[in-house]
C-alpha cells in the first residue's frame, strides 16, 4: 500500500509524526511525504522533523509567501506531477490549510482515493480560509476520519450520508502525539530553565483575525498586560507578529519568546497555570494536559471543550479575558473525560485503510 502524505504547516507536522510512526510499523506500507513548504521557516520546520523523528520529506516544494490562489495553484501543479510519478493507492491530507486543499483537489481529479484526517470540523465562520479548505476537502474525500463524534454529526447534518464516502470517528491523532512525546519532552526540554520560568500563564496568538486586526490585537495585549500584573504571561510569538507589535508601538509587558519546538511547547503547556490561545491544537493540548484554556476567538471547532467547561470563548474582549483568567487561576481542574479517543487514532486509521485495501 502506497500513501502520499501532504503536509506543510506546524500542526500537520505533529499529526503526521503520530501517524507516520504507525505506518513505519508495517512493512507493506510505503509512505511518500510531500512537504509543500507552506509554513516553512528555516529552523522551525527542521526542528519538528528532527525532534519528532518524522522521516525526511521525499519531496520539498518550497511554495510559500504567496496569496491563496497562487499558493494553492502552484501546489496542485507539483502534486499532480508527484501523483503521476508515484502512482499511490491513497493521498492523505490533514486538517484545513491550503496544502490540504491542494492535495485534495489534485488527488480526486487523478482518481486516487483521498483520505482526510481531522474531517468534519466546523467553525461555521466562512470568513476563515480554514473553514473553506475543510468543507471542500471533506466533500471530495473517500475516507473521512473524524476526531470527535461532533465532527461526524456535522458531516451528517450536511448530507454526507448521501455521498459515496466512508466516515469513521477514530479520535484525534494529536492526542496520540501528546501521549507519545510527553515523556520525551520531560526528559529533553530545557525551556523552563532557559527562560527562568516558574509560575506562569502560557499564551499564543497567531491567527490572522487577531494579528492583522490592530483593534483586536490591542485588546488582546491589554488583557495580557493586565493578567501579567498578577502572574507572568509567557508568549511564544512569531517574528511576523512581533514586527506588527513593534511597528504599531504596542507595549507588551509579558515575556515574549521566539516560537518553540513541539517538545518545548508540551513542556510549557504541562507546567502552565493556565493557557490563553487562538490555536486549535493548543486548546486540545491544554485539556489533555489538564489545564483550563481561554480561547481568544469568537468560536471554536472543539465545542466539546466548551460543553465540558474546560475551555471558555472570550474573543478579543479584554474584560472577559481578564476576569475568566483570574477566575480559572483559582479553580482546580477536575475533568477526567476521554474526549479525543485516548491516543489510538493513528492505529485505527491504519487498520481501517489496510482493511479497505483488501
Which residues have a catalytic role annotated? 206
Nearer to ligand UDP, 75 or 235 (CB): 235
Q: How many CB atoms lie within 10 A of CB 84?
A: 9
Site string for ligand UDP, 285-324 (x = CB under 6 A): x---------------------------------------
Alpha helices, H only, 229-317: 239-247, 262-271, 280-288, 303-307
Which cell is 107 given? 488527488
Residue 37 engages ligand UDP in binding (rule: CB under 6 A): no
Question: Which 8-state DSSP code applies to residue 76?
Answer: H
Select from 3, 4, 11, 165 the one that contacts ligand UDP (CB under 6 A): 11
Q: Is 254 in the site for ligand UDP (CB under 6 A)?
A: no
Contact predicate 15/39, CB 8 Å: no
For residue 145, give the nearest of 176, 123, 105 by alpha carbon.
Answer: 176
User: Element (H or E) spanning 92, and its range?
Assistant: strand 90-94
φ, ψ dihedrals at 90, nearest 5°: -135, 150
Residue 202's beta-bridge partner residues?
A: 234, 275
228 binds ligand UDP (CB under 6 A): no
Of 22-30, 131-139, 246-254, 277-285, which segment contacts ligand UDP by CB under 6 A? 277-285
Is residue 57 a contact residue for ligand UDP (CB under 6 A)?
A: no
CA–CA dist 346, 352 (Å, integer): 10
- SS3 of residue 18 by DSSP: helix
Q: How far is the CB of 164 from ligand UDP (least distance, A)?
A: 29
Q: How many residues bind ligand UDP (CB under 6 A)?
A: 16
Residue 123 contacts ligand UDP per CB under 6 A = no
State yes or no: residue 260 binds ligand UDP (CB under 6 A). Answer: yes
Which residue's CB is nearer to ligand UDP, number 205 or number 325?
205
Which of residues 279 and 318 has its CB atom nearest to ligand UDP in the complex? 279
Nearer to ligand UDP, 239 or 342 (CB): 239
Helix (H) or strand (E) holding 129: helix 129-140
By the rule CB under 6 A, 343 interacts with ligand UDP: no
For helices 262-271 and 280-288, angle between their N-to-C axes, nearest 10 degrees: 50
Q: Which is nearer to ligand UDP, 66 or 256 (CB)?
A: 256
Dist. CA 289–CA 287, nearest whole Å:
5
Binding residue for ligand UDP (CB under 6 A) from 206, 255, 290, 344? 206
Helix (H/G/I), strand (E/B), else coil: 83 = helix
Task: Residue 96: name the closest of 75, 122, 77 by CA.
Answer: 122
Residues in CB range of 215: below 8 A, 6 or more apart = 316
Q: How far is the CB of 324 from ligand UDP (least distance, A)?
A: 20
Pick between residue 142 and residue 172 the one whose CB is nearest to ligand UDP: 172
Q: How far is the CB of 348 from ligand UDP (least distance, A)?
A: 20
Q: Residue 260 CB, nearest distance to ligand UDP (Å)? A: 4
Q: Are strands 311-313 and 200-204 parallel, antiparallel or unpaired?
A: unpaired
Nearest to ligand UDP of 29, 148 (CB atom):
148
- Dig out the grid coordinates for 199 from the structure: 509560575
Segment interacting with ligand UDP (CB under 6 A) among 80-88, 225-233, 276-284, 296-304: 276-284
- Kindly tell me which residue out of 3, 4, 14, 305 binds ligand UDP, with binding defined by CB under 6 A: 14
User: Are residues 67 and 89 in contact, defined by beta-carbon separation less than 8 angstroms?
Assistant: no
By CB under 6 A, name the binding residues for ligand UDP: 10-11, 14, 204, 206, 236, 259-262, 265, 279-282, 285
Amino acid at each position: 500500500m502506497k500513501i502520499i502524505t501532504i503536509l506543510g504547516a506546524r500542526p500537520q507536522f505533529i499529526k503526521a509524526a503520530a501517524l507516520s510512526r504507525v505506518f513505519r510499523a508495517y512493512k507493506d506500507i510505503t509512505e511518500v511525504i510531500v512537504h509543500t513548504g507552506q509554513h516553512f521557516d528555516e529552523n522551525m520546520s527542521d526542528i519538528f522533523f528532527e525532534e519528532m523523528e518524522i522521516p525526511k520529506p521525499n519531496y520539498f516544494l518550497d511554495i510559500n509567501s504567496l496569496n491563496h490562489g497562487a499558493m494553492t495553484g502552484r501546489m496542485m501543479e507539483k502534486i499532480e506531477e508527484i501523483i503521476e510519478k508515484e502512482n499511490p493507492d491513497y493521498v492523505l491530507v490533514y486538517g484545513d490549510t491550503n496544502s490540504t486543499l491542494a492535495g485534495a483537489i489534485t488527488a480526486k481529479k487523478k482518481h486516487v482515493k483521498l483520505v482526510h484526517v481531522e474531517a468534519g470540523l466546523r467553525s461555521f465562520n466562512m470568513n476563515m480560509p480554514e473553514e473553506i479548505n475543510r468543507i471542500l476537502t471533506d466533500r471530495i474525500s473517500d475516507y473521512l476520519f473524524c476526531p470527535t463524534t461532533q465532527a461526524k454529526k456535522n458531516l451528517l447534518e450536511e448530507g454526507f450520508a448521501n455521498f459515496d464516502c466512508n466516515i469513521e470517528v477514530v479520535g484525534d491523532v494529536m492526542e496520540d502525539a501528546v501521549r507519545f512525546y510527553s515523556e520525551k519532552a520531560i526528559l529533553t526540554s530545557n525551556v523552563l530553565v532557559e527562560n527562568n520560568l516558574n509560575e506562569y500563564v502560557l499564551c499564543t496568538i497567531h491567527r490572522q483575525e487577531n494579528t492583522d486586526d490592530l483593534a483586536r490585537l490591542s485588546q488582546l495585549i491589554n488583557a495580557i498586560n493586565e493578567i501579567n500584573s498578577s502572574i507572568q504571561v509567557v508568549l511564544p510569538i512569531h517574528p511576523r507578529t512581533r514586527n506588527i507589535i513593534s511597528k504599531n508601538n504596542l507595549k507588551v509587558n509579558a515575556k515574549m519568546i521566539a516560537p518553540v519546538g513541539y517538545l518545548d511547547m508540551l513542556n510549557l503547556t504541562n507546567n502552565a497555570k493556565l493557557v490563553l490561545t487562538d490555536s486549535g491544537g493548543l486548546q486540545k493540548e491544554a485539556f489533555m494536559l489538564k489545564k483550563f484554556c481561554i480561547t481568544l476567538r469568537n468560536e471554536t471547532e472543539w465545542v466539546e471543550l466548551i460543553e465540558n467547561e474546560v475551555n471558555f470563548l472570550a474573543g478579543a474582549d479584554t474584560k472577559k479575558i481578564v476576569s475568566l483568567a483570574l477566575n480559572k487561576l483559582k479553580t482546580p481542574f477536575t475533568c477526567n473525560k476521554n474526549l479525543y479517543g485516548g491516543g489510538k487514532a493513528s492505529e485505527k486509521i491504519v487498520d481501517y485503510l489496510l482493511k479497505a485495501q483488501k
